[in-house]
Amino acid sequence: MEPQQEGLTRALTPGEVNLARSVFGSTIFYQSVLVHCDSYLPFGLQNQYTAMSPNGELYFRRSLYERDYANQDPEAQHLFIHEMAHVWQHQKGMWVRTRGLLSWAVSYQYRLDQPLLRHYSMERQASIIADYFILKRYGANTFFRLPNRKLIGIVDRWTLSQFQPIIRSAGLPL
């Protein structure tokens, strides 16, 4: 299949809504979320391998854009859920755009050492949610092999249960 040309804007697909709903339940107004195959930054300044969701919409450059993330591999779905976490944060009132200005300088890696999701930084929250999604949906073997997972620590059969109280603290479905 030929790569998508930039400049496209679309709604979430039904599969993407179902994928996101498995993590965020009804806490996101999905009808308002748009997916762009384009740079959020002017003059195409958004890096080809960086996704952004500063305003409740998702921006993927051509190298990361997919027509339907629900039909993609776990790595692409991990990225999609990470970006949907920023949509969730935006819709809950977090100043994602302002905080995102420093995202290049912050660590996305985390330890599960805080009891509440809100005790983690914006990017760590999104990483925790995306990592939890992969672990829950695909299991520890896929999670362990995921190149962009951010959890620092041992991954074993108990890891999922370590995520659950943190996810629950944010009102997200388990």
Q: Which residues are catalytic?
A: 83
Backbone angles phi, psi at 105, to 5 degrees: -105, 0
Token pair 């092999």 is at which residue?
Answer: 145
For the chain, give me the number of helices (H) and strands (E)?
6, 3
Cα–Cα distance measured from residue 4 to residue 101, given in angstroms and rounded to the nearest whole number: 27
CB 129 within 8 A of CB 164: no
